[in-house]
Amino acid sequence: GPDPRKREALIRLEASRRTGGNMTLNEREELLDSKLQTLMQHDIEAGPFSPSMHFFKAKRFIDQSPVFSLIQKMPKGAALHVHDFAMVDVDWLVKNVTYRENCYVCFTDEQTVQFIFSSGQPASRPRCSSWTLLRSLREKIKNSTELDNSFIGNLTLFTEDPDRDYPTQDSVWKRFEQAFLVAYGLVTYAPVFKDYLYEGLRQFYEDNIMFVEIRALLPATYELDGRLHDKDWSMRACQEVVRRFTAHYPDFLGARVIFTVHRGINATEAVKAVEEAMELQRNFPNIMAGFDFVGQEDLGRPLWYFKDALSLPEGRGVNLPYFFHAGETDSQGTDVDQNLMDALLFNTTRIGHGFALARHPVVKEMSRKMDVPIEICPISNQVLKLVSDLRNHPATVLMAEGHPLVISSDDPALFRATALSHDYYEAFMGFGGMSFNLGTLKELVINSLRYSSLPSQRKKDAIDVLLIKWDKFVVESLL
Ligand SMILES: O=c1[nH]cnc2c1ncn2[C@@H]1O[C@H](CO)[C@@H](O)[C@H]1O
């Protein structure tokens, strides 16, 4: 029969390969780890949470889990994959922003709403009721709770029965893009744009995050009289807000912007976008991190279609880092399914999602050799219907193999999730079950800074600060 010692050695070898498997834990960390293992065991056995449960149903169970509360207190380093207008809990948008002066609402024929701030009656829009000043509407209906709840419903995807409400990927993506449009009129009002970013950083900081990279469309912002501001204004606004925030919270390291455009644009528009990105990179080197495409990958153009635009920086000797979304798809063998390969050929710094990676063995090897990490966003992948049971997520395999990766949250506000903690919980409990331990979490949080776009010295300092925070977290969690 098999040699038991050889069996032991193989088990240890395999454990050492997985994410965090090679982390050496000190005595205190070992203590916390055994406590953590007990808590995990309890969550797995006592239920009713299971990684097969949709996040919208699982959330109230996760919220009561002691593992979750430990993860909330854990310093999480950086959030590297989040979208501009999906950062702030929508309660803030409704309770704070829509209660400001000069806020108008109109009701669309698709059961949704639009907002605008204006000093006078705004020009009416097609397929939308005439604009009503929210203050007058609220005075008229007296009790605004129902109205406010309907706004919250419009701004998120949250529902009791996600499978009934979103039967297909296309239907959930349609609602998803609609929700961004509802927020649009609020967050592009210039004063709100700044306040939104500040509040977003505050909510991320509160979730024990030190640094954020934001995928931002940088749309024109507007003033009460309709005057518009351009991307330079938005970048300066980001710079100013980040400075103000870090002055107030000195242990926060800041935020950087990955300029994004929709992948539905044509080749000429792409050239213009890449040129704009190069200019932003030149003018705002501290806060600008690079360039990416967004939107539903299956419906958009493949990366290879944009090859001329994407080759411009190299041709001009300009450094424009790429952070491409790729492989956020179930399609196989289509042009879009080549995006993973092309992202690497264009020297992407990281890969957003990479859900299709397991089906591309050569790309997988390349990304490992090039040390290009995959940004895994478990809740987003579940809500947008790439996977239902998280135990079937390709990240289970990637983490078992110790593939370079980071955990992020994509659009926490739309999923009613915390900045990063719910995604960490889902990844931790879903992708590894009892095979994960404190070392897994430690490697994930270190990865988040290691694979950030911070320049190397700042990165080193950031990891030092993180490790000090980590030790403090370990000690405090043992009390
Ligand atoms: O997971 C994602 N994949 C691709 N695009 C996304 C994802 N989440 C959000 N957006 C895109 O980001 C824009 C707001 O900045 C949204 O309009 C949406 O198209």
> ipTM of this predicted complex?
0.96
Is 426's pLDDT higher than 90? yes
| Spatial strand order in the sheet of 103-107 | 113-117, 103-107, 132-133
What is the Å distance from ligand 1's center to 479 Cα?
Answer: 41
3-class secondary structure for 30-71? HHHHHHHHHHHHHHHHHCCCCCCCCHHHHHHHHCCCHHHHHH
Contact present, 327 and 357 (Cβ < 8 Å): yes
Which stretches does DSSP call E strand in 277-426? Answer: 288-294, 325-326, 351-353, 374-376, 405-407
CA-CA distances (angstroms) from residue 325 to 72, 85, 239, 339, 354?
A: 27, 17, 25, 8, 7
Is 47's pLDDT higher than 80? no
Residues 6+ apart with CB under 8 A from 150: 113
What is the Å distance from ligand 1's center to 287 Cα?
Answer: 21
In this structure, how many other beta carbons lie within 10 angstroms of the beta carbon of residue 22?
12
Tens of pLDDT, residues 264-307: 999 999 999 999 999 999 999 999 999 999 999 999 999 999 99
Residue whose entry in the numeric block shows the structure tokens 């404190």: 438
The secondary structure of residue 401, as a DSSP letter, is T
Q: Is the CB of 385 under 6 A from ligand 1?
A: no
Tens of pLDDT, residues 202-223: 999 999 999 999 999 999 999 9
Catalytic residue check, 328: yes
Peptide bond into 219 cis (omega under 30): no
- Find the Cα–Cα–Cα–Cα dihedral 71, 385, 47, 62, rounded to 10°: 30
Q: Which of 81, 325, 353, 422 is catalytic?
A: 353
Q: Is the CB of 295 under 6 A from ligand 1?
A: yes
Tens of pLDDT, residues 91-122: 999 999 999 999 999 999 999 999 999 999 99
Compute the average pLDDT of residues 170-197: 98
Is 252's pLDDT higher than 80? yes
Catalytic residue check, 81: no
What is the Å distance from ligand 1's center to 294 Cα?
Answer: 5
Compute the average pLDDT of residues 439-450: 98
Q: Is the CB of 217 under 6 A from ligand 1?
A: yes
Question: What is the residue-averaged pLDDT of the chain?
Answer: 97
Probe ligand 1: pick from 411, 414, 423, max atoms within 8 Å of CB?
411
Ordered domains of the chain (ranges, CATH): 72-88+190-472 (3.20.20.140), 92-172 (no CATH)
The secondary structure of residue 116, as a DSSP letter, is E
Q: Is the CB of 411 under 6 A from ligand 1?
A: yes
Probe ligand 1: pick from 81, 83, 258, 328, max atoms within 8 Å of CB?
83
For residue 407, the model assigns a pLDDT of 98
Is 48's pLDDT higher than 90? no
